[in-house]
Amino acid sequence: MPVPAFPFLPIARPVISIPEPVEVGGPSEPFTLTGRVSGATALTVQRLPVALAADGTFAVDFPAPPPAIEVVARGVTGHVTERRVVVDVRYPAGRAVHVGASAWARAPVRDEILRLAEEGWIDTVQLDVKDEYGWVAHATGVPLAREIGAVRERYDVANTLDLLHAAGVRVAGRIVTFRDPVLAGWSWERGEPDRVVRSRDGTAWGAGYGGPVFTNFANPEVRQYNIDLAVEAAELGFDDVVFDEVRRPHGALDLLWFPGLAGSPEQGVAEFLRDARNAVRPYGAYVGAAVHGVAATRPTEVAQDIPAIGGQVDFVAPILFPSSWGPGEYGIARPESQPHEITSRALADVVRLLAGSGAQVVPWLQDFSVGADFGPDEVRAQIRAAEEAKAPGYLLWNPGGRYQEETWDGTG
């Protein structure tokens, strides 16, 4: 008996057409995502249903840009097409310098930074909001900071922002995130051990640090504390918030315990940055993350997965100080003596890893001497490497806040 023939229905997956890249002008600016789908009977954007016009076009309004947009189209045969659209919030990077809170409190340093700004040598100043000692540098209203005695007021926020903005520069607030001896020590002493990174035997992890230093990025209270400081900084008028030391401590991973961690440490760090940017974004500040240079080749060493982090922030600041690299890194015998070569090779890795993430690369460069003399020529060599890599800007660091004007005017 012949087998009856049944009509063959070809698999028809919907096609999603969205012009890319999707660029928006600022972190809190509303925008409209537009596109067209064909062969679809239903469409969702960020898991919410979206109406389709007769010709398959659609438009979705956003009050502020998310890091990425998930678009899903379902066809008549039930097949699904998914599309992840990266939203590029173009960070206005430029010539930045970092000034610690204690340095900014000294009139000679402050006056020199203002002069550099007024004369156009720099266009961005990064100031500490919370430093590597756990001190909060202004009269914060965040309750936990006051409860643990973290406030060490070094500057008046309103006056400082007014001075710097009047000089024509952007102001970034640096928050040293999980390296926080004040919160770690206070929490450990008062019976909040899950706020602290611990050894597998339950003791506080302090190897190489002399006591509880690193807070636990998997702990909701630790996360919220840093997010609260970031939101407050944005509300006060900081243009950017930069999370530094957003990582795990050094040490063998099998000896460390992060109470409450679900997933890998790298996922935990990226998820924190996602939550932080979502909280800060409505206040109009850009969000960045400083990452260790070794994270490009050894992400598990510090729990910094650069591509994952890039998907959650507006810019990534890789710390590429030539003096921080060991002999032989990237095939260079003495990295501190070859600032252009080590910066160029390390930065190339970071640029490659962040391609398509929507995050800008703003390298953190060295303007101080340790191991080798660093004059204007050495600083310029790093800047040249950044320019060759098409980085839109850079951040210089000198621990005392004293920068060499010859770096820019070419007289060094």
| One domain for residues 78 and 27 | yes
Residue 371's H or E segment, with its range, is none
* Residues 75 and 164 placed together within one structural domain of the fold: no
85 with 201, same domain?
no
For residues 211 and 298, membership in a common domain is answered with: yes
- Same domain (yes/no): 28, 126: no
Domain containing 280: what range? 95-409
| CATH number of the structural domain spanning residue 364 | 3.20.20.80
**Which pTM was predicted?**
0.90
> DSSP 3-state assignment of 100?
coil
Counting the structural domains of the chain, the total is 2
CATH number at residue 53: 2.60.40.2470
**Distance (Å, whole) CA 341 – CA 347:** 10
Does residue 334 sit within a domain?
Answer: yes
Per-residue confidence (pLDDT) for residue 23, from 0 to 100: 82
Tokens of 152: 């060490």
What burial letters (b/e) apply to 348-384, b meaning 16+ CB within 10 Å? ebbbebbeebbbbbbbbbbbbeeeeebebebbbbbbe
Quick check: is 370 in a domain?
yes
Let me know if residue 227 belongs to a domain. yes
Q: What is the pLDDT of residue 22?
A: 83
C-alpha angle 391-397-400 in degrees, rounded to nearest 5: 165
Distances (CA, A) of 388 to 117, 135, 365, 392: 25, 37, 15, 10
- 305 and 366 fall within a common domain: yes
Whether 55 and 136 share a structural domain: no
Other CB atoms within 10 A of residue 411 CB: 9
Domain endpoint, select from 36, 65, 89? 89
The residue out of 71, 89, 107 marking a domain boundary is 89
Which residues lie closer than 8 Å to 6 by C-beta, 6 or more apart? none
Choose one of 64, 89, 114: the last residue of a domain: 89
Do 323 and 396 share a structural domain?
A: yes
pLDDT of residue 182: 97
- pLDDT value at residue 227: 98
Taking only the tens of pLDDT, the chain with its 412 residues reads 555 554 555 567 899 999 877 888 888 888 899 999 999 999 999 999 999 999 999 999 998 888 789 999 999 888 899 998 888 888 888 999 999 999 999 999 999 999 999 999 999 999 999 999 999 999 999 999 999 999 999 999 999 999 999 999 999 999 999 999 999 999 999 999 999 999 999 999 875 667 799 999 999 999 999 999 999 999 999 999 999 999 999 989 999 999 999 999 999 999 999 999 999 988 999 999 999 999 999 999 999 999 999 999 999 999 999 999 999 999 999 999 999 999 999 999 999 999 988 899 999 999 999 878 899 999 999 999 999 999 999 999 999 999 998 888 764 4
Residue 7 placed within a domain:
no
**Does residue 59 sit in the same domain as residue 137?**
no
- Does 4 map to a domain? no
The verdict on residue 10 lying in a domain is no
Pairing of strands 68-75, 40-45: antiparallel
With contact defined as beta carbons under 8 Å apart, do 401 and 111 qualify? no
How does DSSP classify residue 149? T
Q: How far apart are CA 81 and CA 144, in angstroms?
A: 46
Three-state secondary-structure class, residue 276: helix
Are residues 164 and 296 located together in one domain of the fold? yes
Residue 403 lies in a domain: yes
